[in-house]
Amino acid sequence: MSNPYVPTPARIVDVAVETEDRQLRSYWLERLDPDDAPEFNYMPGQFAELSLAGHGEIPIGIASSPTEGRNLLFTVNRTGRVTTALHNMQAGDVMGVRGPLGRPYPLEENRGRNVVIVAGGFAVTTLRATMNWLLSPEHRKDYGRIDFIYGARTPGMLLYRRELDRWARFGDDVHCHVTVDREAEGWDGLVGFVPNVVGQVAPSPDNSIALVCGPPVMIRFTQPVFDSLGWTADRIFLSLENRMKCGIGICGRCNVGPYYVCKDGPVFTKAELDRLPPDY
């Protein structure tokens, strides 16, 4: 039995600055030992621990889809010691990867349904993985209408711009609704906060699921919109990525009510979260 705390080495093959403030960078990684790669079987919504010798490790949602090949994509927001050290790394550098970890979005269990995706800011990473998984040739036929609703403060803070453009042109009952908080020069898309756009799109709850990940304030104001549209709590899935810690529920720092977010989540139904203390 392998030690769950031991990472496997991975090399950076590409780095991209994602946002105008340069605080968000994406890293494509290839695992150095080919024998490790088949073991990394994951689904959208899961995460991994990225580790740097001498600096520590940090849980990051997996932004790639398993349908995109064996390399892994992570988008990292510079917020502390580990992420700052990571931002100083370049293509060719090596780090550790431990995972995949956590409970994914329930895509396999909801074949045949429509899918509504709601994302805000940096939290779009695992929902990028979800979109690419849903739109892959092997999976698109298994789902109905897809609505992708995504917002950021400014156009320059939107992640994955080329993919947003590709999804907007996808057709085949795929509808992208990308918004920014306020008017901006050169921006001719939607303007307004994500909860307002959800209300304007008014996705039907009939035979549908909703996958939601974003800042707490976005989630707080989006939930009443879903309620007003007749959605039930068991069809709305939210990710508590901001509570992830050691990844396996041992350190106890991800504890929320009866759950360990790292082990039991990070994806929960709204029905499960409604039974938790209000400060989750």
Q: Are strands 174-180 and 236-239 parallel, antiparallel or unpaired?
A: unpaired
Q: Beta strands 190-191 and 174-180: pairing type? A: parallel
Res 187: pLDDT: 95
As a whole number, the mean pLDDT across the chain is 91
pLDDT at 1 over 60: no
Helices marked H in the chain: 81-87, 125-135, 161-168, 194-201, 216-228, 261-264, 270-274
Q: According to the model, what pLDDT value does residue 280 have?
A: 58
Which residue matches tokens 């795929």?
174
Q: Which residues of 183-218 are buried (b: 16+ CB within 10 A; e: fewer)?
A: eeeebeebeebbbbbbbebebebeebbbbbbbeeeb
62 Cβ contact list (under 8 Å, min separation 6): 42, 44, 46, 47, 48, 72, 73, 74, 99, 100, 125, 126, 129
Q: Supply the pLDDT for residue 210.
A: 98
Does 36 score more than 70 pLDDT?
Answer: no
Tokens read off for 62: 């997996």
Tell me how far apart the alpha carbons of residues 129 and 269 are, in angstroms, rounded to a whole number: 19
Residue 2 confidence (pLDDT) above 80: no
**φ/ψ (deg, to 5) at 99:** 160, -165
Residues in the chain: 280
User: Is the pLDDT score of 249 beyond 90?
Assistant: no
pLDDT at 248: 72
Q: Is the pLDDT confidence value at 279 over 70?
A: no
Q: Which of 86-95, 191-200, 234-243 has the lowest mean pLDDT?
A: 234-243
Residue 224: CB atoms within 10 Å: 11
Tell me: the pLDDT tens digits for 201-247? 999 999 999 999 999 899 889 999 999 999 999 999 998 777 777 77
Q: Where are the beta strands (DSSP E) in 112-246?
A: 114-120, 146-152, 174-180, 190-191, 208-213, 236-239
Report whether pLDDT(78) > 90.
yes
Sign of the alpha-carbon dihedral angle for 82, 59, 152, 13? positive
